[in-house]
Amino acid sequence: MKMPAPQKLLALLAAVGLFAGCQTSRPLVATAQNAASQAATTPAEALARLKAGNERFAANHLLTRDLAAQRVATAGGQYPFAVVLSCLDSRTSAELIFDQGIGDVFNARVAGNILNDDILGSMEFACKAAGAKLIAVVGHSKCGAVKGACGSVELGHLTGLLQRIQPAVAAVPPGADPTSTTRVDAVARENVKLAMRQIRERSPILAELIRGGKVGLVGGLHDLESGRVAFFE
């Protein structure tokens, strides 16, 4: 049945009102990290916060954030509780997979989540100068950089980057198919462990913070399909 114009307008207005009501039924989270909240956070609490955020991401129950308010609140300074080293892969943004807002985490990203002097210096700034309480090295399943390293790929500047993953490749027997998904994921895990060892060995600054319990160090592997991150030390 064709609806008269006035009735169409009323129906449209009702629908808009209903939609607006749904949008505002959940309060916006405007709270941003500040100096006090960062100082009060322990490494264990920082890890628990990442785990809780990842559970929300995997369940698709994300917090509803007032990003405009967070933007204003953090414009004068930043106080992230963690620094995350993750892959360049477009599916692995730390702010998304851990459901964090503006100013919550530092995120260093490079293909294969490798460790180099630039990343290490960034971590030292994040923890020693800016007060982050946790370093999380996070690899992921089906990593293209790791697969390239397993297959000895050579391509311009990528060649040197993939060479940094070779110690992890050597730690996992190649089997019948050196680039199988199972092996690539196993190498990805070893690659995270490699970066964690290098952090302790190559940075006296971070090693001291970790030994003193001021900063935590954890590894993780993000499953692209489930969204969940399996953490390990």
List Cα–Cα distances, 10 to 1, 16, 19, 24, in angstroms.
Answer: 16, 10, 14, 21
Q: How does pLDDT run across 56-106, given as a tens digit for each residue?
A: 999 999 999 999 999 999 999 999 999 999 999 999 999 999 999 999 999
pLDDT mean over 40-67 = 97
Q: Domain 32-62+77-232 has what CATH class?
A: alpha beta
In angstroms, the CA 180 to CA 193 distance is 20
Looking at residue 141, what DSSP letter applies? T
- Residue 215 burial (10 A CB sphere; 0-12, 13-18, 19+): buried
List Cα–Cα distances, 211 to 200, 204, 214, 217, in angstroms.
Answer: 9, 10, 8, 10
Note the residue count of the chain. Answer: 233
Helix axes 181-202, 117-124, angle to 10 degrees: 60
What is the pairing mode between strands 134-140 and 216-222? parallel
Specify the pTM: 0.87
Q: How does pLDDT run across 198-213, given as a tens digit for each residue?
A: 999 999 999 999 999 9
* Gap between the terminal Cα atoms of the chain: 65
